Chains A and B, each alone.
Chain A
Amino acid sequence: MAEPAIKRSDESSKIVDEGIDKGIARLTPEKIEQVINKVLAAETGARLKTYVETCVHCGLCSEACHYYLSHDNDPKFSPAGKVKQTIWEILKRKGKVDPEFIRDASRIASTECNLCRRCAMYCPFGIDIAYLMSVVRRLCHMLGVTQLYIQDTAHSHSATLNQMWVKEDEWIDTLFWQEEEAQDEISSLRIPIEKEGSEIFYSVIAPEPKFRAQLIYQAAVIMNAAGVDFTMPATPGWDNSDQCMFTGDYEMMGRLKKVHFETAMRLKVKRIVMGECGHAFRSVYDVGNRWLAWKMPPIPVTHAVEFYYELLKQGKIKIAKKYDKPVTFQDPCNIIRGKGLHEKARYVVDALCEEFIEMHPNREHNYCCCAGGGVINTGPQYKMKRIKGNRIKAEQLFATKTRGAKVIIAPCHNCHGGIEDILHHYGLDMELHFLGDIIYKVMEKPV
Chain B
Amino acid sequence: MHDIYNFVSGPLVWVSFVIFFGGSLYRLISMAVLARKKDVFVYEYMSLKFGLRSILHWIIPFGTVKWRKNPLFTIVTFTFHVCIIFIPIFLSAHIILWKESWDISWWYISDTTVDILAVVVIASCIFFLVRRIVLPEVKYLTSVSDYVILAIVAAPFITGFWTYHQWAGFRVMGIIHIIAGEIMLASIPFTRLIHMIFFPFTRGYMGSEFGAIRHAKDW
Contacts and interface: CB of A to CB of B under 8 A. Distances in A.
State the main secondary structure of chain B at its contact with A: helix
Interface string B7-18: 000000000000
Contact of B140 (A1, A50, A81, A124): A81
Contact of A54 (B137, B146, B192): B192
Given A121-B65, A122-B66, A126-B203, A49 B217 contact: no
A62 interface: yes
Contacts of B205: 126
B107 interface: no
A125 B192 contact: no
A54 B65 contact: no
A156 B151 CA distance: 55
Interface in A40-84: 43-47, 49-51, 53-60, 62-63, 68, 73, 75-76, 78, 80-81, 84
Interface in B188-216: 192, 194-195, 198-199, 201-203, 205-207, 210, 213-216
Interface stretch (B36-44, B95-103, B114-122): B36-44
Contacts of B66: 60, 121-122, 124
B143 A57 contact: yes
Nearest to B147: A1
B202 A78 contact: no
Contacts of B202: 50-51, 54, 125-127
B72 interface: no
A336 B137 contact: no
Interface string B56-71: 0010000011100110
Taking each of B39, B69, B73, which has the highest tally of chain A beta carbons within 10 Å of its own beta carbon?
A: B39
A126 B37 contact: no
Interface stretch (A99-107, A190-198, A220-228, A337-345): A337-345
Contacts of A50: 31, 198, 201-202
Interface of B: 31-32, 34-35, 37-39, 41-42, 44-45, 54, 58, 64-66, 69-70, 73, 135-144, 146-147, 192, 194-195, 198-199, 201-203, 205-207, 210, 213-219
Given A55-B192, A55-B195, 11 more contacts: A3-B140, A46-B34, A46-B39, A75-B139, A120-B206, A125-B199, A126-B54, A126-B218, A295-B45, A296-B213, A336-B216
15 contacts: A3-B141, A3-B142, A45-B35, A47-B42, A53-B192, A55-B192, A57-B142, A59-B135, A75-B136, A125-B195, A125-B203, A126-B205, A290-B41, A295-B44, A337-B216
